[in-house]
A and B are shown apart, each in its own frame.
Chain A
Amino acid sequence: MTPAKYIHVVAAALLFWLMPFAAVAEGLVVDQKFKGDKEIVVSFSAPVDQAVAENPANYTVFEEPDPDIKLEVASAVLAAGGKSVTLSFKDKLNTAMTHVVVAKGLAGIEKTTFTVSKSYLGYLFGILISALLINNFVFTKYLGLCVFFGTSKKKSTAKGMGVVFTLVMVVSALMSWVFYNFILIPFNLNFLQIVVFIGLVSLTVQAIDTILRKVNPVLFNSFGVYLVLVIANCVIIAVPLILANNNYNVFETFMLALGAGGGFLLALYLMSSVSERMQLANIPPSFKGLPIAFIVAGQFAMAFLGFSGLQLF
């Protein structure tokens, strides 16, 4: 095929792909978004009738998965110019969910239906940030402590362990996702979760060990020792269990695994930096070693409490 013909194909594909967006933009509703966690702002292409737009009874709002649970609209306020309306709700909205709004009688149209959702990328990024900082697996979920205290003595060890851990975490979480969705659920084997997930984790570690040994011996020499430790870590089995519990899709799984691994790396690095300083400090003999490490970790845990409620999108 010549390049000229290519352009036609690409243009046609692009047109098809863009058509849904164009169709939405032509309707009455131009833009809809969440404002805070109690309000939805809707903009219209033309001014609408105030009496209709400001009557809360004209709006039906529900979360996409449960159409039967209607969310109560407390008030609807039309902005000056009549081109945008703010819907306020009695209860907090779960802004992670897609909300469906049905409006009656706006601009003479009997029923206008549209959906409100956060941008999906923002939502995915939210999962990553949540696993990394807000629900850091070490400091707020208290998982993986054995390995955490064992390998946070030196910065270089901490970095190596963190990187290997993140790698294993992402691979094993994705594999667990595939097994969970295509084998455990279809064959109704949900009770085998623990056995299957721990088997997959051991398998991943063994596979990475073998592959790394052959493909990149230099990397293996520096990181290989940490691989064995990974199996003894609770976080690595916690992530598949959490994703099975929340029915995450593959992108969400990836983000969760990346966040969990990154969070562990962060925790290890912070802790090892303090540990290196502590070697120079004068610590009471009965607190040397683990006790003081626990108290430092407690201070980090309190600092990480400050991240709770953090919302970027």
Chain B
Amino acid sequence: MANDKTSMQLIARGILAENPIFKLALSMCPAVGISTTVMNGFMLGVAVLFVQVFSSMTISIFKNVIHPRIRIPTYTLTIATWVTVIDLVLAAYLPDAYAKMGIFVKIIVAFAIITMRLEMFACKETVKDSFWDALGMGLGFMVGMMVIGFVRELLGSGAVMGYDVLGFKPLLFFILPSAGFFVVGLMMGFFNWIELYYKRKKGVK
């Protein structure tokens, strides 16, 4: 099955049409757990992007020698290897950010989104296409995390990227850990509402 999309289309699909957080609703744990600031979202986004790109390329390179029956264990071990790499790198070079993310870096190994991309895309397509697809998915995850982080940080502590922009705290509640569920739920509802609104407009015309 050849892929007929250009690299830009693949990236755009990952960020918009098949956004892992808002559209596919996969890998929700970090979106709720540590998305209190834009920076946290960005850091975990980078980690996921790294793991996604490298495991997709690894699987794509070796797709012809992996027996179909053992493909899932192979995926898992490939992902686990790359997660170990990023885990050790972050722990060594960015200990502060690593401490904030806690167990979530190691948890990347169980993210459904990465395995899903390997199963649906990387094991059939060329290395180049897999790279763009993985980049799109990783960026989509990163953008999703940063958007949630932006909303929570702006409304919760009146700041963006640690800089105070509003000067007051509109909804302190949003920075509390349990508010993660509310923020994600409300944002999903909001995006659905926009989609429904445009569909209805089209229907009228």
Contacts and interface: CB of A to CB of B under 8 A. Distances in A.
B29 A146 contact: yes
A195 B180 contact: no
B84 A238 contact: no
Nearest to B34: A142
Top 7 A-B residue pairs of the complex, sorted by shortest distance between their CB atoms: A294-B185, A298-B181, A142-B33, A301-B178, A286-B193, A291-B189, A286-B192
Interface of B: 25-30, 32-33, 72-73, 76-77, 80-81, 83-84, 87-88, 103, 106-107, 109-112, 115, 177-182, 184-186, 188-190, 192-193, 195-196
Interface in A104-154: 139-146, 149
Interface in A184-200: 191-195, 198-199
Contact of A238 (B83, B103, B115, B178): B103
A48 interface: no
A181 interface: no
Nearest to A304: B178
B84 A192 contact: yes
A50 interface: no
Contact of A198 (B109, B188, B196): B109
A298 B193 contact: no
B80 A149 contact: no
A141 B181 CA distance: 12
Contacts of B111: 234
Given A149-B25, A242-B103, A237 B186 contact: no
A23 B88 CA distance: 51
B186 A145 contact: no
A273 B123 CA distance: 40
Interface residues of A, number: 42
B44 to A, nearest CB: 13
Dominant SS among interface residues on chain A:
helix
Contacts of A81: none
A46 interface: no
Contact of B106 (A192, A237, A286): A237
Given A286-B192, A287-B189, A291-B189, A305 B107 contact: no
Contact of A146 (B27, B76, B184, B196): B27
B146 to A, nearest CB: 18
Contacts of B28: 145-146, 149
Contacts of B72: 202
A291 B80 contact: no
A241 interface: yes
Contacts of A60: none
A53 interface: no
Nearest to B32: A142
B112 A305 contact: no
A287 B182 contact: no
Contact of A291 (B30, B106, B192): B192
Contact of B80 (A142, A195, A287, A293): A195
Contacts of A233: 110
Given A146-B27, A290-B25, A191 B84 contact: yes
B37 to A, nearest CB: 16
B110 A298 contact: no
